[in-house]
């Protein structure tokens, strides 16, 4: 797969099949993840690959609890993540789509065949761990595997650490959990604001005037 196809079409893919992912694919995904750079090449990271059914079910229970907590705390228990309180039509649709897909993930978490938990130390800004996490997700895309980056389980690390035997006194922080499986839906280029809305040239506020209204790569 061409690198630009991967960069343009790796989107949050929450709805996945139960089919397990072959070991060779998992190896390739993980070996790609650790090729990312990290501050001073310290590689102060650990990745916990979870395929075992019982462990996935235990994590799914924690995920559902934290997801409920998240919806209650940040969205006033609004199941559509506040979509109904928005005014802009596009925004309402985006938030509704995300909320449906996120609810699907919470309900079906135990069926997701592969979970990878990323841990790091001495990385307060995320600059060392996220290139590796994103490498992992792009490599998965290269193999036709859909992934989604979730951080909600970070609210209950104590429970997560208990299930996975993670030591709590070695300075490891759980950064994110990546869910992975073969997609139920289709690949495509996700909706984004045009690059010119978020890019300035030489000084803040100066548009680059590129006249780019469509993605430069199309599926």
Give residues 91-130 in contact with a copy of itself (rule: CB under 8 A).
94-95, 98, 125-127, 129-130
Asked if residue 81 binds a copy of itself (CB under 8 A), the reply is yes
- Determine which residue in the list 62, 63, 141, 146 makes contact with a copy of itself, applying CB under 8 A: 141
Closer to a copy of itself by CB, 85 or 127: give it: 127
The DSSP symbol for 148 reads E
Asked if residue 63 binds a copy of itself (CB under 8 A), the reply is no
- Determine which residue in the list 69, 72, 192, 219 makes contact with a copy of itself, applying CB under 8 A: 192
Least spacing, CB of residue 19 vs a copy of itself, in Å: 19
Q: For residues 28 and 195, what is the distance between their CA atoms, to the nearest angstrom?
A: 32
Asked if residue 8 binds a copy of itself (CB under 8 A), the reply is yes
Asked if residue 46 binds a copy of itself (CB under 8 A), the reply is yes
**CA quadruple 89, 150, 4, 38: dihedral sign:** positive
Closer to a copy of itself by CB, 16 or 33: give it: 33
**CA quadruple 114, 28, 124, 148: dihedral sign:** negative
CB 21, CB 116: distance < 8 Å: no
Q: Is 15 helix (H, G, I), strand (E, B) or coil?
A: coil
**CA quadruple 147, 152, 154, 157: dihedral sign:** negative
Asked if residue 190 binds a copy of itself (CB under 8 A), the reply is yes
């Amino acid at each position: 797969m061409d690198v630009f196809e991967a960069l343009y079409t790796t989107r949050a893919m929450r709805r996945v099949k139960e089919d397990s992912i072959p070991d060779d694919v998992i190896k390739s995904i993980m070996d790609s993840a650790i090729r990312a750079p990290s501050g001073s090449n310290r590689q102060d990271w650990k990745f916990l690959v979870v395929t075992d059914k019982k462990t996935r079910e235990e994590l799914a229970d924690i995920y559902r609890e934290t997801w409920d907590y998240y919806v209650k705390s940040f969205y006033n228990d609004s199941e559509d993540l506040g979509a109904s309180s928005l005014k802009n039509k596009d925004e309402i649709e985006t938030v509704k789509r995300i909320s449906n897909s996120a609810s699907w993930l919470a309900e079906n978490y135990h069926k997701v065949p592969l979970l990878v938990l990323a841990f790091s130390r001495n990385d307060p800004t995320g600059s060392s761990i996220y290139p590796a996490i994103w490498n992992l997700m792009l490599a998965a895309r290269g193999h036709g595997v859909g992934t989604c980056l979730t951080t909600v389980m970070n609210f209950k690390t104590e429970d997560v650490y208990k299930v996975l035997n993670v030591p709590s006194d070695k300075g490891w922080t759980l950064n994110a959990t990546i869910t992975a499986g073969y997609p139920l839906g289709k690949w495509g280029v996700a909706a984004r604001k045009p690059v010119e809305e978020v890019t300035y040239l030489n000084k803040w506020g100066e548009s680059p005037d590129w006249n780019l209204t469509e993605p430069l790569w199309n599926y």
